[in-house]
Amino acid sequence: MTSNGRFLEDVTIPDDTPIELGVAFTKSWRVENSGDAAWGPDFHLVFTRGTMMTGSVRQPLPEIAPGETAVLSLPMTAPTRPGAFFSEFRLQDGDGRFFGELLFVRIQAISPETPAKSNGRYLADITIPDGSKLKTGETFTKTWLVENNGDTAWGEGFKLVHIGGDPMGQTTNFSLPAAVPGQRVNISIPMTAPTQMWRVISRWRMQDERGRFFGQHLYVDVFVVEDSQPPTPGEFDPAAWRNTIWAITSIFESGRPEGNPAAYQTFDAGIISYGKHQATLASGTLNRVALAYFERSDSPTSQTLQAEYAARIAQGDASLRHDARLKELLLAAAEEPAMMEAQDVVFDDRFYQPAVNQAKAHNLRTPLALACLYDTQIQGGLFILLPRAVERLGGIVGEAGTDGLIDEAAFITAFLDEREARLLRLADQFEANGNTANARALRISTFRVKEYRKLLQAGNLALAGTLNIRGQTVAGVA
């Protein structure tokens, strides 16, 4: 029997949260007992290194069985001097052995007069939209429209800093324009296209006067061509592709392209899986869907759910797996447009947009590539598999890899191969631990890889026309 633990999410105090000097706070993590041994009465959460911000170095762990989740909470106090502070904790069994993933808290201790948080939101490309064609060596100015959506003013020392890709110039940081919270401004930087013909992505991030990054990433994504070059592929347009991409994953998740807002099952490690995208209690996604629903509905069903179940859903209470009244209320909520909208909003924010960002970061421009990334983000493992594909090929799309210039089809091929291999490895691990049900489910789930591989082999990277996905019809990208 092996003790193990897996970090699922920060319930409170995300990384780099600003907290005033000496102020008390509670840090909570959602974790899963991912081993095959129950956590017993002598199991503890133990401080191991960093800044001691809690009064006790050891705190008892809840007694939970394999596959169950719990929220671990520690009362803490911010240091009395400004700066960034980090505390690391480990899970420890009854014999004093550490196990599982690290848990940590990282805060910014600030003076009371220090503004709480800087933030910035991308709104639009004013010049040089994604997919623009530029001549080799051409000079140009890239301009984004952004909004200061934080609660601090941008002023002296605030910069836009190059963080990856080709900077397309000698300067890697530029001063941000002054902007008060709520103000929209243009950020412009001069650039020069490379002298080689290739696809180029340049990645940038905003930085405050203390050197802390904030806000959304900004991208320049262009094709460098000669006058004789043929037209480039279609524009990268995730919003226009979303219906098709979501329909494919909805077939995998709930059996039909439009998805089933009332889909409900309790037989796997998710404890409860609910809705058209199968939000799970164990991951905390069901809690996010519930909160989004509460914001949009004051119906009797919504009010009852809030009063009777909001706290237990937020805690990931595993006993809800067998709660018939919760199931009845969630199925009733699924009839409301507010719940349907809540499910879509949460999954767009937590799953689709991260997949879009990773597609951009890896020079992936086609609907099929984005579909593969989104479906993997839903099932799990996206941020494990992308580095493996990059390592296997020796780079990202458009770069010179170990076997020559990497194109999109080669990257998708490597990514799908790595995804299938990971699913089978996980299945073998479950089998070795005697969990034949999860092993079988993982092996069956490789059908997802096979469906995308069929589209790739057909050369349909554009997801064009009418698609046949597991015997069901999906309207392709127009």
233-275, pLDDT tens digit by residue?
Answer: 457 889 889 999 999 999 988 788 988 888 898 877 778 989 8
- Residue 115 forms part of a structural domain: no
More confident residue, 150 or 225: 150
0.75 exceeded by the pTM? Answer: no
pLDDT of the residue at 304: 94
Q: Quote the strand ranges of 236-286, DSSP E.
A: 264-265, 273-274, 279-280
Residue 162 and residue 86 in one domain: no
At 375, is the secondary structure helix, strand, or coil? helix
- Given 225, 258, 288, which residue is the final one in a domain? 225
CATH number of the domain encompassing residue 45: 2.60.40.10
Assigned token pair, 181: 């919270």
Residue 308 and residue 439 in one domain: yes
- Residue 232 forms part of a structural domain: no
- Residue 233 forms part of a structural domain: no
- Residue 37 forms part of a structural domain: yes
- Residue 246 forms part of a structural domain: yes
Residue 44 and residue 143 in one domain: no
Nearest partner of 4 among 25, 44, 32, judged by Cα: 32
Residue 407 and residue 323 in one domain: yes
**What's the Rg (C-alpha) of the chain?**
24
Confidence category of residue 227, pLDDT binned at 50, 70, 90 = low
At 293, is the secondary structure helix, strand, or coil? helix
Whether 164 shows a pLDDT value over 80: the answer reads no
Query: b/e per residue, 117-129, with b = 16+ CB within 10 A?
Result: bbbbeeeebeebe
Whether 300 shows a pLDDT value over 90: the answer reads yes
Provide the percentage of residues in the chain whose pLDDT is more than 90: 46
Residue 24 and residue 147 in one domain: no
Residue 252 and residue 397 in one domain: yes
- Residue 116 forms part of a structural domain: no
End-to-end Cα separation, the chain, in angstroms: 53
- Given 225, 248, 273, which residue is the final one in a domain? 225
Written as one letter, the residue type at 181 is P
Nearest partner of 21 among 108, 128, 98, 120, judged by Cα: 108
Whether 424 shows a pLDDT value over 80: the answer reads yes
Residue 315 and residue 296 in one domain: yes
Residue 138 and residue 103 in one domain: no
- Residue 231 forms part of a structural domain: no
Burial of 326 (0-12, 13-18, 19+ CB in 10 A): buried
Query: b/e per residue, 135-156, with b = 16+ CB within 10 A?
Result: ebeeebebebebbbbbebebee
- Residue 293 forms part of a structural domain: yes
Which domain does 364 fall in, by range? Answer: 238-475
- Given 110, 145, 169, which residue is the final one in a domain? 110
Residue 45 and residue 12 in one domain: yes
38-92 confidence digits (pLDDT tens): 998 889 999 988 888 988 888 999 999 888 889 999 999 999 888 888 898 999 9
Assigned token pair, 336: 């409301």
Residue 187 and residue 58 in one domain: no
Domain count along the chain: 3
Residue 455 and residue 321 in one domain: yes
Out of 215-224, 326-335, 437-446, the most confident range is 326-335
Assigned token pair, 34: 């991912």
Cα dihedral: 49, 52, 53, 56 (round 10) = 100
Whether 232 shows a pLDDT value over 70: the answer reads no
Residue 163 and residue 281 in one domain: no
pLDDT of the residue at 116: 57
